[in-house]
Structure formats: C-alpha cells, structure tokens
Structure 1
Amino acid sequence: MKPQLLYYVAASLDGYIARPDGAVDWLESIEASGEDHGYEGFYQSIDGLLMGRATYDMLRGFGIDWPYPGKPCLVLARNPLEQPPADVQGRHCTPSEALDELATRGCKRVWLVGGGSLAGNCLAAGLLDELIVSVIPHLLGAGIQLFATGLEHRLSLQAHRVFPSGVTQLHYQVLAEDA
C-alpha cells in the first residue's frame, strides 16, 4: 500500500514558495520569531521524505548539517548525488515508484519537501493526500509557485491555525478526482 503523501510548505500570501532564483530569505523574519508553527509535531508524524533534486541541492548549498536526520529520504535525481547524508538516496524514477520504495522501507506518512514542480506532478498523478500550507504575511510578487501546474483540484479544509507571528496554517485533504 502506498504511503500517504503530505505537502507541508510555507507560501507567501500571493502563492509563491520562493523567489524566482529559489531564494527563501523572506522566511527569515518568521523563523526569527522563535515560533514552531507546528513543525515539530508534523515532523514527528512523518516517517519518510520525498524531494526533487533542486530542493536537495539548495539545502546542501546552505552549508548546514542535513536537517532531516534519521528518516529515509528519496531524492528524484537523474544524476548521482555526491556524498549524500545517511538515509538519503538519489534515484531516477517516477514519484509513484519512489513512494513504492519508501513503502518497502516501512514508511506510512511521507513529506513532500519543497518544489512546486514536484508537487504539481504528484497532484496531477493523484498521489498527493494532504496539503498543509503556512501562509506567510508577505507578498513576493513573483517566484516559484506553490504548484507549478495549471491543474484545477478540489480540497477539503480539515483544520486551520493562526499564530501570533501572523502566519495562518491551512490543512487540506486533497479530494479524489471523482469526488
């Protein structure tokens, strides 16, 4: 059985997850607030990660320790990863094949990390189960969209939270195409 796939992401009020060059410096003021915004609870609820190569390379470019230790991570990559951290594997496959592999490793809840392109592909393939968006009170005006596809899809609001920082977190269930 395929694991649940959850897209947990921060987005500007106008729907961008990064600047056009991929920079996420606009999130620094929210991070500096010291609020957890539910991250730790979410991280404890997942047991695997799926990410695209661009997100992986960006994270490695920060020059910090791997931020997701102890959980298997599959990076969708055409070319081999150079010296990946423990528990990280690059693989040239479809998102569906990656989820199958994570299932064989015992994963039941997988975090789709980063990338509007990968998120759009997973949505189009019917793989995305939940969407948890932390809407940041910031307008970017341009950048990398939350979903890099023009697909229309229905969602069902499961929960919402408002934090003192001004962040509003929206938790949606992705409805089946025939719902």
Structure 2
Amino acid sequence: MTRVIFYTASTLNGFLADERNSLDWLFALEPPPPEEYERFLDRVGVLVEGSTTYEWVLAFERLLEEPIKWGALYGDRPTFVFTSRELPVPEGADVRFVSGDVQPVIERLRDAAGSRDIWVVGGGDLAGQFLAAGLLDEIRIAVAPVALAGGAPLLPLRVESDRLTLRSVEQQGQFAVLTYDVVSDDR
C-alpha cells in the first residue's frame, strides 16, 4: 500500500533551515549511517517538494551543471514540485511541476509511485498541507542536537497529540529518529 511520508531532519527546537534558509547546521554533524537512508529510499516511488526545497537541492548539489548527479541522488523516481513559477530542470531528470492544492494531485502521485511510497521531502509548509488535507500517513523526523534562534519551522500549523501516534524512536549517530503514524481525521 502506498503511504505518504514526510521524512526530514530538524533541530531540537523544530527548525528545518535557519533564517537564511541554510542547512549548514545540519552538515556540521556526522550523518547517520547511509544504509538507513538507502533502506528508506528503496521503498520510495515518488518525491514531492516545494519550490524552495527544489531550488535549494539544485543549487547545493549543482545539478544544473552536473545533471548526472540527479540519478545518483534520486534514481529514476519522478519528482513532483509544487510551484507557481517556471523553474529549470536538470537534463534527464523526471521533474513534474504542479501548483495549487495538494488534494487534486494525490492520484497523480499515487499512480506515479505504483506500489511504493510517496516521500514529501519538504518543506514544512508543503508537509503541513498534506497533513491538513488528511493525506499524510507518517512523519519521520531525524532530530539533530542543534538549536536555532529562528528559521523555517518543521510544521507551520498546530497539530494536537490525538493526530499522532509514536511508532518508534531510534538512535542513528547523533540523531534521534522519531517516527509517528498520522491518525486520520475520520476516526
């Protein structure tokens, strides 16, 4: 069964990026073992990103200059980018631009994912839209031992404890990986 999963790294106090939209805080840490990420990615059929996340990945990985790296990062998985602007696409990448509400796009995402999962890469606003629409099944947060004074929030909406059930807590290097199942609104 295809699941919609928001999987991201966060600071202790709930920020995805700092005030300059930088992830320098994240890359100052030793990453978790790569096999954990690879095991997760093996179950993913589609990636979903907001335009800020997509543009950050393009710039950080220099994907327009080195498009061959796209395949190493994502394989042949389609990436859906929610945006209202025209954005560049690395040569050979399967990037599909969509706009508006997440609800009308979910069937396209499920069709593209097949029997695999849909990974909401980021950001928090987009993940919040999936959550508010009742389309998010799981939230997986790799919490880093870092606190920031401000920046992009993990989820910019109120989520009460009755919406999330803690499934697991796991140490991966310096990260505490928290996995929550999202309880549907129609309980």
TM-score (norm 1): 0.88
Could you tell me how far apart the structure 1 residues matched to 2:35 and 2:10 are?
13
1:38 maps to 2:44: no
User: Which of 162, 165, 174 is 1:156 aligned to?
Assistant: 165
Which string of whole-angstrom CA distances, capped at 9 and with x for unpartnered residues, describes residues 67-118 of structure 1? 3231011111112332345211112242122221122224341000121111
Paired residues in the alignment total 176
* SS of corresponding position for 1:159: strand
* Greater fraction helix: 2
Quick one: structure 1 residues 141 and 121, their matched pair in 2 at CA, closer, same or farther if it must change by over 3 Å? same
Check the 8 A contact 1:135/1:168 in 2, yes or no. yes
Percent identity, aligned pairs only?
A: 32
Secondary structure at 1:105 match in 2 = helix
Contact 2:32 2:175 in 1 (8 A): no
Specify every segment of 5 or more residues in structure 1 that has no aligned partner in the other structure, as ranges: none
Name 1:54's counterpart in structure 2: 52
**Cα distance change, pair 133–37 in 1 and its aligned pair in 2 (3 A):** farther
Q: What's the offset of the Cα at 1:35?
A: 2.5
- Farther-moved stretch of structure 1 (72-81 vs 102-111): 102-111
Question: What is the identity, as a one-letter code, of the residue corresponding to 1:157?
Answer: L
3-state DSSP of counterpart to 1:26: helix
Instruction: State the superposition RMSD in angstroms.
Output: 2.0
**Does the residue aligned with 2:28 lie in a helix, a strand or coil?**
helix
Provide Cα deviations, 1:119-145, integer angstroms capped at 9, x if missing partner: 111111111100010010111121111
User: Partner amino acid for 2:99?
Assistant: H
Q: Which among 73, 76, 92 is matched to residue 70 of structure 1?
A: 76
Q: Distance in 2 between matches of 1:61 and 1:33?
A: 20
Q: Are 1:80 and 2:92 matched, yes or no?
A: no
